[in-house]
Amino acid sequence: MKAVRMLFLVLLVALLPYQMALAKEAKTLASYEFHDEGIYKHWAYEDLEDLLYADVVEGFEGDDGQMYVNPDEHITRAQFVKIIVAALGLSSDGPGKMFSDVKQDEWYADAIRIASDLGLVGGYGGHFYPNDPITRAEMTKILVLAFEKTLSFPSESGKVFADVDHENWADEFIRKASSVKIVNGYGESFNPNQFATRAEAFAMLHRALKLEQSDLPEDADLTAVLSEYITRENKLVETNQFAELPALDEEFGTGFYQLGGGDPKPFDWFYPAVEEAEITIQINDENMQFKVLGKSNRFAKVKVTGITVSVNAKIPSQPELNENFTTQMDKGIYLLKKDPASGQWKIYNYQER
């Protein structure tokens, strides 16, 4: 499992510091490394990270070649519609509504076609205004309409906001969204006409995705995926077939995990290093256990325990660096996503807890 690989990397840092330094310079996960100032302290960081790692949303490449989330920038109507369509895997064969300001060769044209054909958006008098910032009220309406088949919205509940009366066209949607805490507002106000930020959009979408309970996976289906993956991974590690691990991650992973998931995975130097260091690995996964910590229609979190790893490392030229130890790998949490195209459950992140 990923934790086992991380353990080996820690060991090799101590044994082979020069090679590790070179590996870090050569390996990159630039698509998932964001350089916004203060991003890790942002109020929506956990929502942002989860969606970004699962490839539900994406960042932007800046002029300096670095990736940015731009959480406090406004999100446009076209951007939000495209995100909703992609996140829910929506499709339609219908023509949708014709908008005079949506050219068919634009990157957002098909998403707007699908969303309008499904009744999620209607535009304004034949115009869609794709590049205009979306308001909080507009965004809330689209979210409710998009999730009304997979979420239960109480009809007579929801928070009452001082700036949203019953005559407001968005009142029904704001009440529904607040009833399940997709939206929270700002104290007693909702600010319906305020332009939404990317962070607000991502946080609302993230909450909605985690609330879907209409088509939950069976625990056995989730654990079967992880059991096969971890068992096969352990066999490859025990037999020093490290070059085969990327293909395994390609088969079972997606997004951030598929490209490393926090593990540098420097296979170009790892295998030679193992040979030089004479590392013997034994993994006992006969008592492997799974606990589903949470699940929704499209996302799941599973903790894996009961794996014992024994490592014997020898450096013939430097016997003082020899290592021999056994450890329990009982803190691994896998985050899985249901692939909208294939319906298969894929690993998009691994957390060492």
Q: How many CB atoms lie within 10 A of CB 238?
A: 14
* Paired tokens of 220: 């056995």
Could you say which of 211, 230, 249 is where a domain stops? 211
Q: Write the pLDDT tens digit of every residue in 184-199.
A: 999 999 999 999 999 9
| Secondary structure element (H or E) that encloses residue 348, with its range | strand 345-352
For residues 157 and 124, membership in a common domain is answered with yes
CA distance 110 to 82: 8
CA distance 90 to 49: 23
**CATH number, residue 267:** 3.10.450
pTM for the full model?
Answer: 0.85
Q: Write the pLDDT tens digit of every residue in 25-67.
A: 332 477 888 999 999 999 999 999 999 999 999 888 899 988 9
Residue 275 has pLDDT above 60, yes or no: no
Residue 271 has pLDDT above 60, yes or no: no
Sorting pLDDT into bands at 50, 70 and 90, what band is 316?
Answer: confident
Mean pLDDT of 79-108: 95
For residues 144 and 274, membership in a common domain is answered with no
Nearest to 97 by CA among 109, 84, 85: 109
Sorting pLDDT into bands at 50, 70 and 90, what band is 1?
Answer: low
For residues 55 and 203, membership in a common domain is answered with yes
Residue 218 has pLDDT above 90, yes or no: yes
For residues 257 and 271, membership in a common domain is answered with yes
- Specify whether the CB–CB gap between 42 and 48 falls below 8 A: yes
What pLDDT was estimated at residue 182? 96
Nearby residues of 168 by Cβ (< 8 Å), 6 or more positions away: 137, 174, 192
Nearest to 39 by CA among 202, 149, 173: 202
- Specify whether the CB–CB gap between 248 and 237 falls below 8 A: no
Could you say which of 211, 246, 275 is where a domain stops? 211
Q: Write the pLDDT tens digit of every residue in 280-290.
A: 889 999 999 99
For residues 179 and 56, membership in a common domain is answered with yes
Sorting pLDDT into bands at 50, 70 and 90, what band is 24?
Answer: very low
SS3 content of the chain, % helix, strand, coil (to 5): 40, 20, 40
Sorting pLDDT into bands at 50, 70 and 90, what band is 138?
Answer: very high
What pLDDT was estimated at residue 155? 66
Percent of the chain past pLDDT 70, that is, above it, reads: 86
| Secondary structure element (H or E) that encloses residue 60, with its range | strand 60-61
- The torsion angle over the Cα atoms of residues 299, 264, 69 and 191, rounded to 10 degrees, is 40
- Specify whether the CB–CB gap between 341 and 89 falls below 8 A: yes
What pLDDT was estimated at residue 114? 98
Mean pLDDT of 164-190: 94
Sorting pLDDT into bands at 50, 70 and 90, what band is 129?
Answer: very high
Domain that holds residue 54: 30-211
- Mean pLDDT computed over every residue of the chain: 86
For residues 172 and 36, membership in a common domain is answered with yes
Residue 346 has pLDDT above 70, yes or no: yes
Domain count of the chain?
2
For residues 170 and 299, membership in a common domain is answered with no
Highest mean pLDDT among 44-58, 305-319, 322-336: 44-58
Place of tokens 């260091």: 277
HEC sequence for 186-222: ECCECCCCCECEHHHHHHHHHHHHHHCCCCCCCHHHH
What pLDDT was estimated at residue 314? 82
For residues 231 and 168, membership in a common domain is answered with no
Sorting pLDDT into bands at 50, 70 and 90, what band is 279?
Answer: confident
Sorting pLDDT into bands at 50, 70 and 90, what band is 273?
Answer: low
Q: Identify the residue with better confidence: 60 or 331.
A: 60
For residues 224 and 180, membership in a common domain is answered with no
Angle between helices 2-15 and 267-277 (to 10 degrees): 60
Q: Identify the residue with better confidence: 326 or 112.
A: 112
* Paired tokens of 235: 């066999």
Per this entry, what is the length of the chain?
353
For residues 187 and 206, membership in a common domain is answered with yes
Residue 202 has pLDDT above 90, yes or no: yes
Could you say which of 185, 211, 237 is where a domain stops? 211
Half-sphere exposure of residue 220: CA atoms within 13 angstroms, side-chain side? 0
For residues 75 and 132, membership in a common domain is answered with yes
For residues 135 and 276, membership in a common domain is answered with no
- Specify whether the CB–CB gap between 323 and 313 falls below 8 A: yes
